[in-house]
Amino acid sequence: MLRPFVDDDGAPYFEYAAKGELRMQTCARCGEVLFPPRPMCPHCQSTEFEWKRMSGRGHIWSFAVPRPPLLPDYAAVAPYPVVVVELEEDRRLRLVGNLVAGADAEINSVDPATIEIGQPVRVVFRELEGLAVAAWTPDE
């Protein structure tokens, strides 16, 4: 599997994910939440940031179900759903991630035929190539 590339702007995201917290880059001056992380706030040009904790709840905005040809590690578990989740806090904060039956389940553990746009999901954290990342699981 591909390991997420940890750059200067996004590093805190992964540090918090390792503690089981979903936190998003937030401008320390104007309070706008930014994603993907970046070196400057596009609203006020501040370069000071906080990392605001999110509820970890959201809804599926859309999804795809890739099938081969894929990189070998992905082909081995295809077809698997990849979801775009809009966070409860702000619908423009949409995270791409895997939808799984539970934190320890494979990325093909949810039957794509059962997924619906608008479906509520909640965050779980799982390991991807040694890095903690957010994934999503169906929420009741």
Partner 1 sequence: MNPTPLKDRAAIVGIGQTEFAKHLEPSEKALACRAIAMALDDAGIAAREVDAFAAYTMEATDEVEVAKAVGAGDVTFFSRVGFGGGGSCATIGHLAMAIATGQAEVGVAWRSRKRGSGPRPWTDTVNQLPTPAQWTRPFGLLRPVDEIAVLARRHMYEYGLTREHLGNVAIACRNRANANPAAIMHERKLTMEDYLSARMISDPLCLFDNCLETDGALAVVMVSAERARDCKQQPVYVHAFGQGLPAQHHGMVNYWNDDPLAGPSWTAAKQLWKYSDFRPEDVDVAQIYDAFTPLIPLSLEGYGFCGKGEGGAFTEDGALELGGRLPINTSGGGLSEAYVHGFNLINEGVRQLRGTSSNQVAGASTCLVTAGEAVPTSAVLLRRD
Chain positions contacting partner 1, by CB under 8 A: 1-7, 9-10, 35-36, 42, 61-67, 69-71, 74, 79-80, 82, 84, 92-98, 107, 112, 117, 128-129, 133, 135
Tell me which residues touch Zn ion (CB under 5 A). 27, 29-30, 41, 43-44, 46
| Partner interacting with residue 27 (select from Zn ion, partner 1, none; CB below 5-8 Å by kind) | Zn ion
Tell me whether residue 6 or residue 30 sits nearer to Zn ion (CB atom): 30
Tell me whether residue 49 or residue 74 sits nearer to Zn ion (CB atom): 49
**φ, ψ at 93 (rounded to 5°):** -90, 95
Distance, in Å, from the CA atom of 130 to the CA atom of 99, rounded to the nearest integer, reads: 19
Whether 124 and 56 have beta carbons less than 8 Å apart is answered as no
| Partner interacting with residue 17 (select from partner 1, Zn ion, none; CB below 5-8 Å by kind) | none
| Partner interacting with residue 3 (select from Zn ion, partner 1, none; CB below 5-8 Å by kind) | partner 1
Identify the DSSP state of 113.
G
For residue 10, what are the CA distances in angstroms to 5, 17, 126, 140? 9, 11, 18, 30
| Partner interacting with residue 44 (select from partner 1, Zn ion, none; CB below 5-8 Å by kind) | Zn ion
**Minimal distance in Å, beta carbon 25 to partner 1?**
12
Burial class (CB in 10 A: 0-12, 13-18, 19+), 9: middle
